Amino acid sequence: MFQLPYRSVYTRFLDRVAAHPSKPVFELADGSSISYGKLLKTTQSIAAVLHAAGITTGDRVVVQVEKSPQAIAAYLATLQVGAVYVPLNTAYTDAELRYFLDDAEPAVLIVDPGRAEQARKLAPESAVLTLDRHGNGSLLETKTTRTTVEPVHGDHAAAILYTSGTTGRSKGAVLTHDNLASNCLALLEAWEFTGNDRLIHALPIFHIHGLFVAANMTLVAGATMVWMDAFDAEVVIEHFASATVLMGVPTFYTRLLASPNLSREAAATMRLFVSGSAPLLAADHAAFTQRTGHHILERYGMTETGMNTTNPYHGQRRAGSVGSPLRGVEVIVADAESGTELPAGEIGSIEVRGPNVFDRYWRNAEKTEQEIRDSGFFITGDQGYYDDDGYLYISGRSKDMIISGSYNVYPKEIEQLLDEHPTVKESAVIGVPHPDLGETVVAVIVLAEGRDLDTAALESSLRDDLARFKQPRAYRAVDELPRNVMGKVQKAQLRDHFSELFRS
């Protein structure tokens, strides 16, 4: 297997600072830039604040802040002090935040200043620090810097990323320094990403995609990020001329294709368009090639594994396929029961082994044991097959998951809340095709005796408990839920039945 000469993402970033301190790492919307040297200084200031807060190796730093360059410095500072970075979606409500705090038990919690008071109530045991979208807050209120880099081993935890569970409760995937570094190096090689690249960064930075693919690759290669707070198709197209790479989710590409300004000329100087986190429509793949001359490169990853497979940089990028395994990563299609590898053409359980695979679920040995076989293969919950040329196709998911705008939504969590409502006898939450988000969330409700469907009441009952992106965008009442002989709800039937709800 491909051996990693151990050097962490952080130490590789330091090499880049030493090599070119004045090179821009961020180019911002207002035309200003932040150099590698300046990013290190900010990182070291934050490291001083974290150190003063008593952080030691292995402590968790939970971060729920808006996207900013200083948030990347907070991530780097956490690595510098040997702590464990735990980013959370900014859309999470207080109820959701409470769960993550109880589970992660952070020494430090970093939030927007507007949420500080509430955060102190939710996490009385943690030091609460603040950072706003402009990069201001108590996290940066210091005149000192800390240069000591806490020594870490490759198998020490670098981050915990939460991924929702089929039982409705999120599990924290513990990712080690080796996981991050090995995946980053494999991707740099696969996509020929170098210090000459200029990456359009329009993704959120609380997931693998925006943080460990996009930002880590830039920091380790010594490249530059054209930094955007959020995705706006027109702004992105305007910046093609000064960039080389875009990393996006399928919704980015659907929205780019909807713009009349997407053209061969606009994209002429770009060298690579990457898509991942959810299935890219074959039609979008073809339309993008027709409009720009570029073949989108689709890849496949997961929170627990980082990136697993990619279409080739050189060679044919096949629409509908997620390509073949990255160097050092084994991806097999196996019989779900036995774990035995299946031949090309047969659909089975997609399983992954390699230096990218997470260490364990945080404080959940039972789940870790269920999902990682003795052989070391991690059972992804995705189903697929290889073609005769070694290209992998994802054909379905054994896990009951919806991917809306490339955010994962677990039906169980929503069903549990809906079932508590007095007007609901039972519910089934499904994903149906959506022209912009890929899939969107629909709640199918069996009403309690004598009750009417009151969408507004159901919506308001979920408001405080669920992030907006998880909330159903349609409610439909049915007399009963279709079940098989075992009594299991047949969601495929419901998905078929409601598949046209959002078709334009």
347: β partners:
none
Establish if 301 lies at the interface with ligand MCA (CB under 6 A).
Answer: yes
Residue of the chain from 182, 303, 427, 461 that contacts ligand AMP (CB under 6 A): 303
Other Cβ atoms within 10 Å of 317 Cβ, number: 20
Give the nearest residue (CB) to ligand AMP: 303
AA identity, residue 476? R
- Shortest Å, Cβ 344 to ligand MCA: 24
Which one of ligand MCA, ligand AMP, none is in contact with 380 (Cβ closer than 5 to 8 A by kind)?
A: ligand AMP
- Shortest Å, Cβ 15 to ligand MCA: 26
Q: State the Cα–Cα distance between residues 313 and 307, nearest whole angstrom.
A: 15
Establish if 210 lies at the interface with ligand MCA (CB under 6 A).
Answer: yes
Establish if 92 lies at the interface with ligand MCA (CB under 6 A).
Answer: no
- Shortest Å, Cβ 317 to ligand MCA: 17
Q: State the Cα–Cα distance between residues 109 and 145, nearest whole angstrom.
A: 20
Burial of 430 (0-12, 13-18, 19+ CB in 10 A): buried
Which of 162, 255, 212, 174 is CA-nearest to residue 467? 162
Cα-atom radius of gyration of the chain, to the nearest Å?
23
Choices 35-43, 275-283, 286-294, 467-475 (CB under 6 A): range interacting with ligand AMP: 275-283
- Shortest Å, Cβ 162 to ligand MCA: 11
Choices 131-139, 142-150, 299-307, 363-371 (CB under 6 A): range interacting with ligand MCA: 299-307
Which one of ligand AMP, ligand MCA, none is in contact with 394 (Cβ closer than 5 to 8 A by kind)?
A: ligand AMP
Establish if 353 lies at the interface with ligand MCA (CB under 6 A).
Answer: no
Residue of the chain from 397, 421, 425, 497 that contacts ligand AMP (CB under 6 A): 397
Q: Are 262 and 237 in contact (CB under 8 A)?
A: yes
Site for ligand MCA in 367-426 (CB under 6 A): 404-407
- Shortest Å, Cβ 484 to ligand AMP: 23
Q: Are 247 and 179 in contact (CB under 8 A)?
A: no
Q: Apex CA 114: angle with CA 110 and CA 118, to 5°?
A: 70
Q: Are 28 and 39 in contact (CB under 8 A)?
A: no
- Shortest Å, Cβ 466 to ligand MCA: 11
Size of interface with ligand MCA, in residues (CB under 6 A): 22
DSSP result, 242-275: G-SEEEE-HHHHHHHHT-TT--TTTTTT--EEEE
Structure tokens at 346: 């047969």
- Shortest Å, Cβ 194 to ligand MCA: 22
3-state secondary structure of 61: strand
Choices 135-143, 208-216, 422-430, 474-482 (CB under 6 A): range interacting with ligand MCA: 208-216
- Shortest Å, Cβ 239 to ligand MCA: 16
Residue of the chain from 80, 277, 349, 368 that contacts ligand AMP (CB under 6 A): 277
Establish if 298 lies at the interface with ligand AMP (CB under 6 A).
Answer: yes
Stretch 308-327: interaction string toward ligand AMP, x if CB under 6 A: --------------x-----
Q: State the Cα–Cα distance between residues 259 and 257, nearest whole angstrom.
A: 5
CA distances from 284 to 177, 295, 298, 396, 406 (A): 36, 10, 12, 19, 16
DSSP conformation class of 174: E
Residue 287's Cβ-side half-sphere holds a number of Cα atoms within 13 Å equal to: 15
Establish if 163 lies at the interface with ligand AMP (CB under 6 A).
Answer: yes
Establish if 9 lies at the interface with ligand AMP (CB under 6 A).
Answer: no
Q: Are 209 and 301 in contact (CB under 8 A)?
A: yes
Q: Are 95 and 465 in contact (CB under 8 A)?
A: yes
Establish if 159 lies at the interface with ligand AMP (CB under 6 A).
Answer: no
Of 403 and 462, nearer to ligand AMP (C-beta) is: 403
Establish if 64 lies at the interface with ligand MCA (CB under 6 A).
Answer: no
Choices 29-37, 202-210, 279-287, 489-497 (CB under 6 A): range interacting with ligand MCA: 202-210
AA identity, residue 386? Y
Backbone angles phi, psi at 419, to 5 degrees: -65, -20
Backbone angles phi, psi at 287, to 5 degrees: -65, -35
Residue of the chain from 82, 87, 172, 301 that contacts ligand AMP (CB under 6 A): 301
Name the residues that contact ligand MCA, by CB under 6 A. 203-204, 207-210, 230-231, 249, 251, 276-277, 301-303, 404-407, 437, 468-469
Name the residues that contact ligand AMP, by CB under 6 A. 163, 208, 276-279, 298, 300-303, 322, 380, 382, 394, 397, 403, 408
